[in-house]
Structure 1
């Protein structure tokens, strides 16, 4: 791959190398807070956007062109792996993702397929188009959903507030849960390697619902599978970022999987997390996204406060503790990026 981006601000920070300022990108940086996103979304369904390489590239490029961030992230969804395995996936405005054939028993797990990379070729195709558009400007991050999070959508049949059915499977039928998680982990490993082969410059694993788990359940039903995925990746020159809601609690376990970067939610003191990690693991985060609703002087003050803590630490990527909410004012997000790029330079 010609544009491996080894010298980019983002990749250097991800590998804990010195940088003149922290790089910045934001989870959900291409999304519903942008008028330009809606201009596209109003013409196509969400899955059409994900599955049409040119459109996925258009959306991926929005924050590159409009915000000037230091890394792009592939426009896709964490549930494309579950759909490829046989989940009947749909997205409904105001409801979110739904699987009309939830996975509830042994026969349902048996039906899920794992040799499915041909069904995800559209993602590889999108990566090729995006890299042509980026033309070596900044790195491109690929991603996948972690097995527990993907499992929860398959078992619940969609989003859930309490994950009752998923937790019942973990507790009453742990062998069935492990069989399901193992299948998802195999697909996820192959899928991330497909993205690496197609040309992404980094990958992130999203365990969006790990915060629903107890320590022991996280260790058994999430951590062990993320470790398996990371150990199976083609990691040469490709930083691996591990994110979960709950990283402020689970960071010591997350570090055992040997990611290059741990993305930290906003509940933790970022410096304390960084100091607790083995050297060579960078941190990403962890501004509370709600700060971006606030007045600009508050946004600037909070950014500078976080930087003041982290400025002497190698391996710091500026990000949010979770994704940008849809009704955050666009100009507040743009302002935050400008502050980070213009005011966080090392003396």
Structure 2
């Protein structure tokens, strides 16, 4: 059911249309810095939360109700696609995601399923529940993990500081890497199209570990597949492309023709905007660590960014990466109030 959005700031900014002020949402906004999140998390495992549409909707709604952000983002995880393909996924407290069956050989890659959308139907169900709850209040952002980032988790068997196994695969067995990446890309196209059909208003592709790559490796093993995804999904909603490393890779990212590039905090946002083709918006790029600071500092840093971006069409305020779990909730709330007071 198509609902008219009461607040369409995010959509307008994503399409480089004029807005009264920058829209605001924050990566990981429905998460561990909220006491209300822990009230839910203490009752269920992380995967139970993701796979139970009503609970996923409860968590998705928390920042909308408590922070009054300009967009909701689906509560899920980038690794659900890898699990659907056959990864044995678990989340360990203090360790993070683990795959007990890492993908390190042609035989491992051969058993990865591409026809696995049925295993992700709970995500479409959650989207429908969330949209009923939102009832047009703000847009809902869906998302997926980009193929290189998903590959790194599958190959390493979890998180990694140096991506040694992944880089060995890229260097020693590039054909095998491309085989796995293509499978992930095909699943991601189907998965994002399912989210679009279920009713999300925008999508974001997360390439969280792209910064581990050299320019040439990013081009061949990441960008090529992100471009494939953006060329094959239904472009009926705005698409945001995020990678840690966008301050370096933005010119290549633009070649995939996203509507928005989400920029990390290492770059001057206006400079990035000006090297991008007309019509590509930018998102970002406050250093999340600013949110630990005193409130006058938070205000000053946000307004500094806004003055820098004044007069630029196509700007969504966000962090350069996700909120850390121990950032004070009150500081996040204050930051959003500062954004909402601003007028161009």
TM over 0.5: yes
CA contact (8 A) 2:7 2:139 kept: no
Aligned to 1:86: 86
- Give TM-score scaled by structure 1 length: 0.98
Q: Does 1:227 align with 2:227?
A: yes
Q: Does 1:68 align with 2:68?
A: yes
Deviation at 1:198, TM superposition (A): 0.3
Cα distance in structure 1, aligned partners of 2:90 and 2:166: 20
Q: Does 1:77 align with 2:57?
A: no
Which sections of structure 1, spanning at least 5 residues, go unmatched? none
Aligned to 2:290: 291
Aligned residues between the structures:
344
CA contact (8 A) 1:5 1:11 kept: no
Deviation at 1:6, TM superposition (A): 9.6
Deviation at 1:5, TM superposition (A): 3.8
- Give TM-score scaled by structure 2 length: 0.99
Cα distance in structure 1, aligned partners of 2:275 and 2:5: 29
Aligned to 2:10: 10
Aligned to 2:137: 137
Aligned to 1:167: 167
Deviation at 1:7, TM superposition (A): 7.0
Deviation at 1:121, TM superposition (A): 0.2
Shift in CA distance, 6/335, structure 1 to aligned 2, threshold 3 Å: closer
Aligned to 1:46: 46
Aligned to 2:343: 345
CA contact (8 A) 1:5 1:201 kept: no
Q: Does 1:327 align with 2:326?
A: yes
Deviations 1:92-141 (A, max 9, x none): 10000000000000000000000011000000000000000000000000
Aligned to 1:306: 305
Cα distance in structure 2, aligned partners of 1:76 and 1:7: 23
Deviations 1:264-296 (A, max 9, x none): 000000000001100000000000000000000
Cα distance in structure 1, aligned partners of 2:80 and 2:87: 9
Aligned to 2:32: 32
Deviations 1:295-318 (A, max 9, x none): 000000000000001021000000
Cα distance in structure 2, aligned partners of 1:229 and 1:97: 24
CA contact (8 A) 2:6 2:136 kept: no
CA contact (8 A) 1:6 1:12 kept: no
Aligned to 2:21: 21
Which ranges of 4 or more aligned residues in structure 1 deviate by more than 3 Å? 4-7
Aligned to 1:156: 156
Structure 2 counterparts to residues 85-234 of structure 1, below 5 A: 85-234=85-234
CA contact (8 A) 2:182 2:225 kept: yes
Aligned to 1:253: 252
CA contact (8 A) 1:60 1:130 kept: yes
CA contact (8 A) 2:7 2:70 kept: no
